[in-house]
Each structure stands twice: as structure tokens, then as C-alpha cells.
Homo-oligomer: A and B are copies of this chain.
């Protein structure tokens, strides 16, 4: 029996309320050996109080050594094995701009490029055009029509765009057209199965028309296609856990990831305060709340140690408002580590804090990587967080007699 079947079989309903507060990229590193991490440096009296009364641990997002993107990181937290449920790049890119992908959609990440008179690529990022230029070119491309296919073209940022083909029966198994180097033409789209050959044909037709439309738009006079993908077939969060789940996330990517598992995606406003207000408003309408805080990741990516510390303190300040709602279970964790020292996501295990009745309290008295190492939850794969939260919420029957 696999993890999801076990959840389906054992889940029971009750009045419990569960909050999963994800501080993106929460885990960190000390700048120098022997020093403290961002989380250990931050003054977090509220989290420390929960660490004292609750239980800590460390989660491995995928397997040891693997650095996850936001997609696999969140799927793990939602209890989906990130190696089993693989989300294509095109889908993530579409989710990231709040595009509402459907089952008949094939999503493609595009990069504007510069081609010369022989159609050889001379710049794979089109001279890094501004987002305004990209947006204008996408509007032009969106006017292209392909019989029998709905076409959507959306700007992402600078030279990046998303193309979506909507038609029944299109396959998502199409090779990238980006040759990964300059001095050669873009590759022709090639489908790896019958349904995807149909997608490749549509892509070829679209690219031919696009070449014409963009011919005077040097340096962005063509584009390559990457990460062609369909929505993965993924069981819904509610079906697996029996939870009515709401996502309160500001950034499109995380709203998209929640939508991927069919959570209700609510208007979250712009700030953590807005998110807390929304949480309060809908408290009676759902069983499970995924609240996403972005800035612990973005400050880490910026390599800004003090700013990440500050953002963690801001997160800490929101804890009393959440606890005032008396959640049955509150979990505070990240989807991966983003050490300021590395300015990127990393593979390091992620701090986890669980506050609930019936925690087997450990000796930890503050929330930090070092303390988590001796926490009662130990080190565990992120995909087993949800089964534990379900247990703390009293929502799982005994397995076997």
C-alpha cells in the first residue's frame, strides 16, 4: 500500500484546524563555520515558545543531496513524492504567472532570441530585452491563429514567455528547440509519441508564423521552446486527506502549486498581515490552511543574511495572530533551504516545527537548525510531514487491528 492509499484508507473527519506555514527557503547556513544560521540569529520569541512546547525536526525535500525547485519542494510538503510527481518546466512557468492551466493544455516556456539572416541564433536571451518589450511582442504573437487550437501567449519577465496550446488530445512529450548554444539554428520541435507529434506540428506552424510576425523586432526576432509539458495527473489533496484546503499565498507560483493539488486558492492580499486577515476570515470554512511566506527565500537568493534574519523576525511576529485562532496543529517549515551564503536553493535539510496537543516534547527551546537536529521528529523525508500533521490533528485511524 502506498502513502496516498494509506491516507485514503485511514483518514477520518473531525473539527480540527491545521495550518501549514511555509517560510520559503527557510533553512540556512552560517556564514562561517561555528557561527549561527539566519534562523538561529533571528530573535524569534514566539517560534521559540512553540519550539519549547512543541516538537522539532528536519525534513529532506527529495533525497539527501538534491536541491529542489519550488515545485518539488512544495509537492513534498503536501505529501506527494516529488520523484513520482514530476511537474514539467512549462507547467511551472505557467503556474508562476497565474495562468489557469486545464487538462487540454500544453504549456511551453519560451525564450526570445536573436537570429541572424541565416536564422542562426546569435543571442539566446535576445540582448536581455526589458519586460515591457517582451510584453509588447507577446501581444503580437497572441494574434497568431492555428485552426482547431486555442493559443495563449503570455509574457513572464524580460526575454521569457509562456505559450499554451489548448486542444483535446495534445501530448506533452516534445523535445526542446533550444540548441543550448549560439551559431546554429533553433531545432525543429520533435514529438516523442503520436499525441506529441501533433503538438510538435502545431508548434512548427506557430513558429513559422511567429518568425514572420517578429522579423522586424531585432534583437527579439525569434524564440525557442523549452520544457513542453502537460499538467501532471495528480490526485487532489482533498481526495487523499479528506481536507477542505485553502491556499493563502501572495505569489503566483505558489498559488499555482496549490491549484495543482486542487486547493482553493484565496485572495491573499500583499502582506503577511493581509494573509493573516484572510486566514481569520475563512477560518470556519476550511480544515487546512497553506500559508506561504516568500521573503525568506528571496532574501536568501539575494545573499542578504541580515535581511533574511529580519524577514524571519517578521514571520515570528505573525505567530501570535495565528495562534489566537487556536489551530489544532500548526507546522512551520520551509520547502527547501536557501542559505544567504550560497545565494541559491540548497540541498540542506529544512527546519520543521510542529505545535499541537500530544507532541512528545523534546529538549529544544528555540527554533533553529542546530536544535532541530536533536528534535523529536528526527530527520525525515518531507513527503511524510502531512501524515504526521494528520496524526496530530486526530484525523488518522489506527492501521491494522
Contacts and interface: CB of A to CB of B under 8 A. Distances in A.
A253 to B, nearest CB: 9
Interface of A: 1-3, 6, 10, 29-30, 33-34, 37, 52-53, 58, 62-73, 82-83, 86-87, 89, 92-93, 227, 339, 341-342, 344-349, 358-363, 369-370, 373-374, 376-380, 384, 386-391, 396-401
B370 A362 contact: yes
14 contacts: A1-B86, A10-B66, A65-B388, A66-B396, A66-B399, A68-B398, A70-B400, A93-B401, A344-B398, A346-B391, A347-B391, A362-B373, A373-B374, A373-B378
A67 B391 contact: yes
B37 A67 contact: no
A92 B401 CA distance: 7
A89 B373 contact: no
A290 B292 CA distance: 44
A215 B333 CA distance: 60
Given A64-B384, A342-B358, A373-B374, A69 B1 contact: no
B83 A6 contact: yes
Contacts of A93: 401
Contact of A66 (B2, B52, B387, B389): B387
Nearest to A61: B399
Contacts of A377: 64
A378 B349 contact: yes
A347 B388 contact: yes
Contacts of A369: 360
B64 A396 contact: no
A33 B53 contact: yes
Contacts of A347: 388, 391, 396
A234 to B, nearest CB: 14
B69 A387 contact: no
A190 to B, nearest CB: 19
